[in-house]
Amino acid sequence: MSKANTGDGGRDDPETTTINIRVTERQLEEIDRVWKEEGFTSRSEFLRHAIRDATENPGVSRQMLATIAAEEYAMRHGESEAVSREEIVSMMDDDE
């Protein structure tokens, strides 16, 4: 496999495998902005963290995020009301 510019100097680690992915220039700019702002030492470190988070903690699905975004939109447009923490706990207790 060819070495890609990963932002970490191409360090060899026998426990890792190089993969190639295609992203848009805009995505790459965002990746580079975020890894630097968040204090990661390299682009590769950031991407490994993101992959690990997505695969080990898949609890927040795209559908859940879409539902949250839709509810936020509805609240901002007066089509829904915020609920208190106590109401949420009560709803969760009712489901058990």
pLDDT digits (tens, 9 = 90+) for 5-38: 444 445 667 788 899 999 999 999 999 999 999 9
Q: Is the CA virtual torsion 15, 53, 18, 30 positive or negative?
A: negative
Weakest-pLDDT range from 19-28, 40-49, 66-75: 66-75
Please give the residue range of the domain that contains residue 69.
62-95
Q: Is residue 32 included in any domain, yes or no?
A: no
Closest CA to 19 of 63, 56, 51, 61: 51
H-state helical runs in the chain: 25-37, 43-56, 62-76, 85-95
Q: Is residue 79 included in any domain, yes or no?
A: yes
Distance from C-alpha of 33 to C-alpha of 38, rounded to nearest angstrom: 9
Weakest-pLDDT range from 11-25, 37-51, 73-87: 73-87
Given the structure tokens 């992959």, which residue do they identify? Answer: 51
Distance from C-alpha of 8 to C-alpha of 44, rounded to nearest angstrom: 6
Q: Is residue 23 included in any domain, yes or no?
A: no
Q: Identify whether the C-beta of residue 52 lies closer than 8 Å to the C-beta of residue 46.
A: no
Q: Is residue 78 included in any domain, yes or no?
A: yes
Q: Is residue 85 included in any domain, yes or no?
A: yes
Calculate mean pLDDT across residues 43-65: 83
Given the structure tokens 């902005």, which residue do they identify? Answer: 33
pTM of the predicted model as reported, rounded to 2 decimal places: 0.50
Q: How many domains does the chain have?
A: 1
